[in-house]
Structure 1
Amino acid sequence: MESFARHLVDKGHDVSVVTTCKTARDGRLTEGTPDGVRLFELDNRGRLGASARSSSPVASVQGRSAGGMRLLKIKRMVDRFLGQLLDHRLLFAAQFASPFLAKEVKSALSEADIVVSSSPPWITHLAGWIAKKRYGVRWLADYRDQFSGNHIQIGSAFSRPLERWIDRGLLRSADCVSVISGPMKTYYEQFHGRVECIENGYDEKAFARIEQVVVDKPASGVPKTAFVIRYAGSISADRIPHALLQAIVQANRGEGAPFHVEFCGESGLLRSMMPKTFPEAQPFVRFVPQLGYSEALAAMLEADLLYFVETSDTSSLSARGVLTTKLFEYLAAKKPVIAEISEEALAAQYLRASGLNMVISVKSDEIHDALIRYRSGGQVLAPDDAFIHSLSRAVKAQAMEDLLGQLYTEGARTVVRS
């Protein structure tokens, strides 16, 4: 949404963003506000404030503190029963109906042609619903992840029907719904008659900027001391790299430069598993604290290979519809990708179309064979530049602008008829 806002301002539109004030516990704020975008940050009383600009890292190699882990366990216990229903940002949404809402925000909303609410969290759609009712604006409800029917935050038999009820009830007032994948589109078409798909895409301007400062690789013929495989993102229980680590251990028993893998991000779970589950892989694994956006892009561009892992669950539209921004950024980096996912996964379709799929498999022997081919120079990839460009933010932001233009025109016609 930051990229979309920047694109809209560059095209001459007036963009205001209303959000919460961020505290140090929300982590490091690594990106600035796009030039020309008006940013309104609300405190818990609906007044204008400012986020804490902490320079400390979001996460450390050691992961969460003992107290933080206890709080996380309590939260997970509550979430297992209430799903996503209980959200501490409910007060943020309620402020949109308050007479004490900051006058600057009231003015921005009353002058707006269209309000876009983007979730998660789902309470942004509650805020959009209130803005629609209070100010009579056109409303686009944008989902980057599903609220109801979510395959990760499953909730309980109590919370699931309530989440569907909320989704259905809120979207009755929406003028349009936007989502990030085909399966997610199919899901939300149960609740609304107009659902458009606009993927996350990658920021080509950011890549071009980082490419100018990334150090070039050694020239052909210079022997490598090790091949670096990088993964950017969190490691969770459904993203444990079993096949990759087994394949690396096997490949490094042979001749030639060894393969080393770096996990950049929150990976406390994997760190704790290494001594017992993957003892032989430990010499070839490095854990890196979570990186800022520009640092993460540079890490992708400097890697020899990129590793992608995601749920291969196909039991729900939510699971089948996962298309993370990381996938598009991997494609923009144009590095060979090792994907430990099912060949039936939606992400696998994008990888094959890009021409960057070095291997797509959940089997360690198939990943091992691909590593050996790569080391011997027998793995030749042919990136499809046209397909990769079609996933750029420039293209996706233009699709968003076109959609907003349609909604504005339809709203103007309604006013004329009435």
Structure 2
Amino acid sequence: MKKVLIITYYWPPAGGPGVQRWLKFVKYLPHFGITPIVYIPENPNYPILDNSFVKEVPKDVIIYKHPIREPYKLAGLFSKKDAKRISSGIITTKNQSIIEKAMLWVRGNFFIPDARKNWVGPSVKFLDAIIDKERIDTVVTTGPPHSIHLIGNRLKELKGIRWLTDFRDPWTSIGYHKKLKLTRKSQLEHKRLEHQVLNNADGIIVTSYTTKKEFETITDKPISVITNGFDSDDQGHAPLTKDFTISHIGSLLSGRNPLVLWKVLGELVNENEGLKTSFKLRLAGVISEDVLQTIKDSGLENHTEILGYISHEEAITLQQQSQVLLLVEIDSKETRGILPGKLYEYMAAERPILAIGPEKWDAAQIIADTHSGFSFGYSDENELKDVLLKWFWAYKNEGLVMKSVGLEKFSRRELTKELAKHI
């Protein structure tokens, strides 16, 4: 069987969607004649842990580890809260402390492309011998963190191996990039490294068509879209809640705050006694104070359940139980190509998806193509209200049902089959 070396920062017991993508690829690659060998940090500083992923790691997969030095541990001596938030990519623009502002400036200008840059040199030296030992001729790097791609770039120069890059998110165009307080020199350095990686790689994999179009302006190298997906093995059959529940799984931060939805829900609760007695809003994940305050101001506080971080297993159950699943993205051009990993699990749950995001959002097209729900902009108040009422009356009468189509191509097995062709 052909061997491929996969270099990733996020791996169980880390939590979040970034872990699932390559955990599932590793699970299914042997079905297509490819043996994955994984390289990860030995002592990472994961901001979120989910031990339910550990048991999904194939028992026979070879995993190499090497120590990493991360600045977040040192930053934690000054402010553990700020260090954890920044390390997880949560960057707020309001009420920043002096320490947080300083951390962001140092993070943005001293650690380019990111705070894991110090792992590049030691990893290249360590993997030099591993590539020979395992007789590897293809390496895949997945980011963010995008410093992982610099390892692949160096190994290609050193060993002449074939190198594929996997971008789970864009690089310089991602939303939080503008919040890093970058100097002009730092901005140019990010652009230089992005250009270098995209033009030195033998192939590029992205998760959305918008990112593909963006990268095509930077490189002529082949770019393939392989989205995230759902694993049929994970899907359960939990009974629906008796309440009219709308559930959101994942972070809802200041920018990801659908004011139009809270306003419409507040109005519906006041106007419709049946909805008022049966409506529940369930939020799982990190919720910013701004979002919570808006929900409260809309009169929805008594209808809201804050669940905090839940495991992937619990998230699957919550999806299956919910009457409606909420998907929210920041309203900006930079987020049009962001396809949250949970989108595909939402579709697999076959519950109606209520999506609120930017104009020309890639997720909106997928939802429309699969008949999985409806997508709205941040100003589509009347249309949003009509759909919610329609779904509520369906819930009250014959039951709220969603008949999606064309989901199989988003299964993890089918996506891995496509990946195997590139490897």
The answer to whether TM tops 0.5 is: yes
- Matches of 1:161 and 1:389, distance apart in 2: 42
Report the Cα offset of residue 274 of structure 1: 4.4
Identity in percent: 21
The correspondence for 2:144, drawn from 116, 120, 124, is 120
Give the counterpart letter for 1:75 in structure 2.
Answer: M
Q: Which moved more, 1:340-349 or 1:329-338?
A: 340-349
- Matches of 1:228 and 1:83, distance apart in 2: 45
Report the Cα offset of residue 294 of structure 1: 1.4
SS at match of 2:35: coil
Report the Cα offset of residue 143 of structure 1: 0.7
> Which digits, 9 at most, give the CA deviation of each residue in 1:103-150, with x for residues without a partner?
874545x61121000010111111111221222211001111111232
Residues 159-170 of structure 1 correspond to what in structure 2 (within 5 A)? 159-170=186-197
The correspondence for 1:217, drawn from 240, 243, 267, is 240
- Matches of 2:389 and 2:316, distance apart in 1: 26
Change (3 A) 1:309 1:127: same
- Matches of 1:120 and 1:66, distance apart in 2: 20
SS at match of 1:26: coil
Structure-2 residue corresponding to 1:175: 202
Change (3 A) 1:326 1:75: farther
Change (3 A) 1:389 1:72: farther
Q: Note if contact 1:358-1:381 (Cα within 8 Å) is conserved in structure 2.
A: no
Taking structure 2 as the reference length, what is the TM-score of the superposition?
0.78
- Matches of 2:299 and 2:307, distance apart in 1: 19
Structure-2 residue corresponding to 1:312: 331
- Matches of 1:40 and 1:394, distance apart in 2: 25
SS at match of 2:360: coil
The correspondence for 2:274, drawn from 256, 275, 278, is 256
Bigger Cα Rg: 1
Q: Which moved more, 1:372-381 or 1:259-268?
A: 372-381
Taking structure 1 as the reference length, what is the TM-score of the superposition?
0.79
Residues 13-162 of structure 1 correspond to what in structure 2 (within 5 A)? 13-23=34-44, 26-30=47-51, 31-32=53-54, 33-44=57-68, 65=81, 72-78=100-106, 82=109, 85-98=112-125, 101=126, 105-107=130-132, 111-154=135-178, 155=180, 156=182, 157-162=184-189
- Matches of 2:83 and 2:202, distance apart in 1: 44
Residues 320-335 of structure 1 correspond to what in structure 2 (within 5 A)? 320-335=336-351
Structure-1 residue corresponding to 2:26: 5
- Matches of 1:68 and 1:74, distance apart in 2: 15
- Matches of 2:101 and 2:361, distance apart in 1: 30
Q: Note if contact 2:143-2:168 (Cα within 8 Å) is conserved in structure 1.
A: yes
- Matches of 1:34 and 1:168, distance apart in 2: 35
Report the Cα offset of residue 15 of structure 1: 1.3
Change (3 A) 1:84 1:352: farther
Change (3 A) 1:397 1:152: same
- Matches of 1:143 and 1:197, distance apart in 2: 10
The correspondence for 1:352, drawn from 342, 351, 368, is 368
Structure-2 residue corresponding to 1:394: 413
Structure-1 residue corresponding to 2:315: 296
- Matches of 2:113 and 2:359, distance apart in 1: 36
Report the Cα offset of residue 279 of structure 1: 5.3
Structure-2 residue corresponding to 1:337: 353
Question: What's the RMSD between the two structures over aligned residues?
Answer: 2.8
Q: Note if contact 1:248-1:259 (Cα within 8 Å) is conserved in structure 2.
A: no
SS at match of 2:25: helix
- Matches of 2:374 and 2:400, distance apart in 1: 9
Q: Note if contact 2:229-2:344 (Cα within 8 Å) is conserved in structure 1.
A: yes
- Matches of 1:114 and 1:25, distance apart in 2: 27
- Matches of 1:21 and 1:269, distance apart in 2: 34
Gaps of 5+ in 2: 1-21, 70-79, 86-96
Report the Cα offset of residue 44 of structure 1: 3.3
Change (3 A) 1:77 1:287: farther
Structure-2 residue corresponding to 1:197: 225
Q: Note if contact 1:235-1:267 (Cα within 8 Å) is conserved in structure 2.
A: yes
Give the counterpart letter for 1:170 in structure 2.
Answer: V
Q: Note if contact 1:260-1:285 (Cα within 8 Å) is conserved in structure 2.
A: yes
Give the counterpart letter for 1:16 in structure 2.
Answer: I
Give the counterpart letter for 2:154 in structure 1.
Answer: I
Report the Cα offset of residue 400 of structure 1: 0.2
Q: Note if contact 2:350-2:402 (Cα within 8 Å) is conserved in structure 1.
A: no
